[in-house]
Amino acid sequence: MRSRFQSILDFYRDGEYFHLMVKFALPIALQSLVMSSLNMVAVMMIGQLGETSVAAVGLANQVWFLLSLVVFGVVSGAAMFVAQLWGKRDIPNIRRVVGLTVKLGLVAALVFWALAMFFPQAVLRLYTEDAAVIALGGQYLRLFSWSYAFFAVTSAYAFALRSTGNVRLPLVISTGALVFNILLAYALIFGVRTLGLPALGINGAALAGLAARVLEFAAMLFFVYRDRSSPVAASLRDLVELDFKFMGSVLRPVLPVIINEFLWSMGVTTYSAIYAHIGTGAIAAINIVATIDQLAFVVFIGVGNATAILVGNLIGQGDKEKAFRYAGRSLSLQIVGGALMGVLVYAFAGGIFRVYKVSPEVIADSIRILTVLALGMWVRAGNHVIVIGILRSGGDTRFSLVLDGLIIWIVGVPFTAAGAFLLHLPVQLVYALTLSEETTKFFVGLWRYFSRKWMHDLTQLPAESS
């Protein structure tokens, strides 16, 4: 017994791992914390306009959610290349990967912009039949869709910077943009008579979000290109070239990530459609709890993304044994941390609901959903580091596609839909059925980690064409 306990202590007695983890995870977690906190403030401001406005913005943002996850698939897939290439200090190929990421992100942004601009009401009818919600949400959707391209380009550079170890610049830029977003949103949502600004309601929130994305985009390009020394400062040639041999080498492992994120995001937005069909109050409660979820999850996002950087760098350097150990440490820390965070969320987060001007029934549903969220936090935290920090950083994107992109449709969506439409369960129990997906993913992903089959060297790319 003593020897087993000692071996566990020895497994965690690694100063280098914890130094690097804090170095990378802390800024990423802080960035997520700022984003989640300010998003909560934005939802609280919109919450002063009533549950119809909360539901309208929540459903309109499902299009943004889908785009953000497709873009995340592109940039996180490319980031596994950048992390491994940075392990070899192959800057020319890093810049070529960044150029390809920008192009792919802009294509995705154009598709979602067209949907939001020309078919906003048709899109929203997929989630709800409430005419008031559709009318409000359609206006918001059209205005905010102009930010999609700026977001896609900024994300490409931000993830590449993180993968080369520069986690501070994305933190500073996104924090500044989000603070600006909140201040401007307050002025445009409620109006400022002394400045001659009318109260625009949720349209004001959309305009503020657009202005913040433009500012974030401009700041990112300025700081990346001001001295041209950044490893992610892709040239104009890198941004416009169409080297199909190179694109094929990168897209083979990246394409499963994009498909994965699209399928997973469609599954999550299907969950939202199921909640919305239960009632407007149900989707309002889900959106309120989602802000707490985002806030509670920031630490796990930091650890997951930091693990991806560390593991990717080590695989690029050829040290697969060390990569396996680092991945295992992060996985166990994530599980224990998720359980502790669940306790804290259950104990302290419920008081936030008093801020919202919604019905008592919505508040009661929110408290019940929060309890389920707290119970499932550990398994979701574990899955995040398995998918993002381990499988993708190791280039095991096809297995990750099955694990993260298909299980949600094979297990999660059918169980959740059956709970809502066949058993007519209350919203908190329908929400609980989504954990069937998370539990399945966790045990399959754990098996894959111990198999060691997820570690692949991605650094052998074709040379640049003349």
H, E, C per residue of 288-343:
HHHHHHHHHCHHHHHHHHHHHHHHHHHHHHCCHHHHHHHHHHHHHHHHHHHHHHHH
CA atoms within 13 A on the CB side of 217: 15
The predicted model scores a pTM of 0.75
Residues pairing with 192 in the sheet: 197
Q: How far is CA 458 from CA 205, 206, 222, 233, 310, in A?
A: 42, 40, 30, 21, 15
Whether 1 is in a domain gets the answer: no
Sign of the alpha-carbon torsion through 153, 155, 160, 164: positive
Whether 109 is in a domain gets the answer: yes
- Cα 377 to Cα 383: distance, rounded to the nearest angstrom: 10
Q: Which residue has the tokens 């280039």?
A: 395
For 234, list phi and psi in degrees, rounded to 5: -65, 140
What pLDDT score does 9 carry?
Answer: 58
Q: Which residue has the tokens 């809502």?
A: 420
Alpha carbon 183 to chain centroid, angstroms: 23
Whether 21 is in a domain gets the answer: no
What pLDDT score does 106 carry?
Answer: 93
Q: What angle do CA 378, 381, 383 make, to 5 degrees?
A: 110
Whether 13 is in a domain gets the answer: no
DSSP for residue 192? B
Nearest to 47 by CA among 373, 349, 367, 362: 362
Token pair for 288: 């309120």
Whether 219 is in a domain gets the answer: yes
- Cα 306 to Cα 167: distance, rounded to the nearest angstrom: 9
What pLDDT score does 36 carry?
Answer: 63
What pLDDT score does 163 carry?
Answer: 84
Total residues found in the chain within this entry: 466
Whether 167 is in a domain gets the answer: yes
Q: How far is CA 3 from CA 6, 7, 12, 264, 332, in A?
A: 5, 6, 15, 42, 19
- Cα 302 to Cα 304: distance, rounded to the nearest angstrom: 6
> Can you give the C-alpha Rg of the chain in angstroms?
22
- Cα 93 to Cα 82: distance, rounded to the nearest angstrom: 8
Q: Which amino acid belongs to residue 318?
A: G
Whether 17 is in a domain gets the answer: no
**Positions of the chain with pLDDT under 70:** 1-14, 35-44, 47, 193-194, 350, 460-466
Q: Which amino acid belongs to residue 351?
A: G
What pLDDT score does 382 carry?
Answer: 95
What pLDDT score does 89 carry?
Answer: 84
Q: Which residue intervals of 119-243 are DSSP H helices?
A: 120-124, 131-144, 148-163, 168-190, 202-225, 236-240
- Cα 444 to Cα 409: distance, rounded to the nearest angstrom: 15
User: Which residues span the domain enclosing 215?
Assistant: 26-451
DSSP for residue 48? T
User: Are 405 and 260 a contacting pair, CB within 8 Å?
Assistant: yes
What pLDDT score does 12 carry?
Answer: 62
Token pair for 277: 């069909």
Q: Is 243 helix (H, G, I), strand (E, B) or coil?
A: coil
- The DSSP H or E segment spanning 64 is helix 51-87
For the chain, how many structural domains are there in total?
1
What pLDDT score does 46 carry?
Answer: 73
User: Are 272 and 14 a contacting pair, CB within 8 Å?
Assistant: no
Whether 4 is in a domain gets the answer: no
What pLDDT score does 466 carry?
Answer: 46
Q: Which amino acid belongs to residue 141?
A: L
242 contact partners, CB below 8 Å, separation of at least 6:
none
User: Are 454 and 394 a contacting pair, CB within 8 Å?
Assistant: yes
